[in-house]
């Protein structure tokens, strides 16, 4: 194992060990702060309840991330091709980004008249801007000398876009994708909190609320641990994807580069 893997694992185990010892030494009641061992036991015991909720939250997150990739990527290409389109639409993208989703989620839930669709929209609103802004930056960060070379050989706008601008923007797009993966999960969880829907088809946010109503604090922490683990898994998968796509040609993914 490399230092990149061992160092955070050792630190994480140390923190968990100190947490468990502190809870036992101070005799903290489980309804105030459960220890990691009790949380792990609760996670196993309540897995039949938490697993379907995990899938609901994950499905909304992945759908929102996919929509963010499509909309953000298409808009970024349109903005790079037309300055007027960018000047007309980009301010509204900024408005959507800076508006707290928790403030507009109730309106979206009412207007959409469908819980799943409203959750998807809320998560998408949080996730699409990093992809849009990073991809635009990448499309505009092309080497001017290469642009001049393409012009010299008579390459049109579309050929320049496909063979030069898009490959140059790929590292920026992937960087925005890693950011948006976590934001999509955050948006899905926040929207679930606002929606407050229960039942079997409920996400992890509702399980946290439900456990709080029932004073089942260990289950709250177990659901929170699943959310955190899901966010870490999404980030690792997207990081691996980025490495696989860039490792043969881009400096950021070459061995020995940090």
Give the pLDDT score at 127.
92
Is residue 8 domain-resident? no
Measured N-to-C along each axis, helices 115-139 and 166-195 cross at an angle, to the nearest 10 degrees, of 150
Is residue 28 domain-resident? no
Domain harbouring 209, CATH code:
1.10.3720.10
End-to-end CA distance of the chain: give it in Å, rounded: 18
Give the pLDDT score at 140.
87
Is residue 5 domain-resident? no
Number of domains in the chain: 1
Q: Of 179, 216, 184, which is closest to residue 58 (Cα–Cα)?
A: 184
> Would you give per-residue pLDDT tens digits along the chain (258 residues)?
677 778 888 898 999 999 999 999 999 999 899 999 999 999 999 999 899 999 999 999 999 999 999 999 999 999 888 888 888 888 998 888 888 888 888 888 888 888 888 899 999 999 999 999 999 999 988 888 888 888 887 778 888 888 888 988 999 999 999 999 999 999 999 888 887 665 555 889 989 988 988 889 999 999 999 999 999 999 999 999 988 888 877 666 565 444
- Which structural domain range is residue 136 located in? 36-249
Contacts of 136 (CB under 8 A, 6+ apart): 76, 79, 80, 86
Give the pLDDT score at 257.
44
Is residue 7 domain-resident? no
Is residue 22 domain-resident? no
Is residue 117 domain-resident? yes
Is residue 17 domain-resident? no
Give the pLDDT score at 246.
85
Is residue 167 domain-resident? yes
């Amino acid at each position: 194992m490399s230092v990149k893997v061992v160092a955070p694992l050792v630190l994480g185990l140390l923190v968990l060990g100190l947490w468990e010892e502190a809870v036992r030494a101070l005799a903290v009641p489980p309804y105030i702060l459960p220890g990691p061992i009790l949380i792990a036991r609760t996670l196993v015991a309540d897995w039949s309840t938490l697993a379907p909720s995990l899938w609901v939250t994950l499905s909304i997150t992945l759908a929102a991330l996919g929509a963010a990739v499509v909309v953000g990527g298409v808009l970024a290409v349109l903005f790079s091709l037309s300055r007027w389109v960018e000047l007309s639409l980009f301010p509204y993208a900024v408005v959507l980004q800076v508006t707290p989703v928790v403030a507009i989620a109730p309106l979206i839930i009412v207007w959409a008249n469908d819980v799943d669709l409203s959750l998807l929209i809320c998560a998408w609103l949080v996730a699409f801007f990093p992809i849009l802004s990073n991809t635009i930056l990448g499309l505009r960060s092309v080497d001017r000398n290469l642009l001049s070379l393409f012009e010299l050989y008579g390459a049109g706008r579309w050929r320049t876009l496909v063979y030069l601008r898009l490959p140059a923007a790929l590292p920026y797009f992937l960087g925005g994708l890693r950011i948006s993966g976590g934001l999509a999960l955050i948006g899905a969880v926040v929207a679930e909190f606002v929606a407050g829907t229960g039942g079997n088809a409920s996400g992890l946010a509702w399980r946290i609320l439900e456990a709080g109503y029932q004073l089942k604090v260990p289950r709250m922490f177990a659901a929170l641990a699943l959310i955190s683990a899901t966010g870490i898994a999404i980030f690792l998968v997207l990081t691996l994807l980025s490495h696989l796509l860039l490792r043969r040609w881009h400096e950021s993914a070459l061995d020995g580069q940090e």
